[in-house]
Amino acid sequence: MKKLLNIGFSIGLFGVFLISCNDDDYQTIESIGKIKIDSVKTIHDTMDVFTVQSIKTYSTYPSHCEGFYGYDYIHDANLERTVTAYKYITNGPCAQGSYVGDNQINFNPQRKGTYTFKFWNGGNNWITKTIVVK
């Protein structure tokens, strides 16, 4: 009986392995690249130190084979932040047509001052937002 249970368990485990490895419902990311940030929305232009504010960014993707991948968020010692958005491109069949995607950065300042955000808008163009932290 014990031997029969071990054989049954091994066959069941092997079947689960075969099913989990045969999943073709995903698309492979082919590449990652910059995407310009079309607009930026901040809720407040002043806020308190140690609070959180969501900063929303909007980008236009040329097809549904592309989507938001992440941000390159660089800050220097002088309260300046530069933000570049990145998109992924997949290899699968996609719905045609462009769409606007929105994403956000949660800004949580640790000291008082005037913070300057520069969001990449293509080429040498930047959208600048200033937030005063009290």
Per-residue pLDDT tens for 58-103?
999 999 999 999 999 999 879 999 999 999 999 888 888 999 999 9
CATH architecture of 27-133: Sandwich (2.60)
CA dihedral 4, 9, 10, 15 (to 10 degrees): 130
Domain boundaries, the chain: 27-133
Q: If you average pLDDT over residues 15-43, what whole number do you get?
A: 76
Go through 88-112 and write b for each residue having 16 or more CB atoms within 10 A of its CB, e for each that does not: bbbeeeeeeeeeebebebebebeee
The model's pTM: 0.78
All residues at 6 or more sequence positions from 118 whose CB lies less than 8 Å from its CB, including other chains: 80, 81, 82, 83, 126, 127, 128
- Residue 8 token pair: 């049954």
Structure tokens at 117: 């955000």
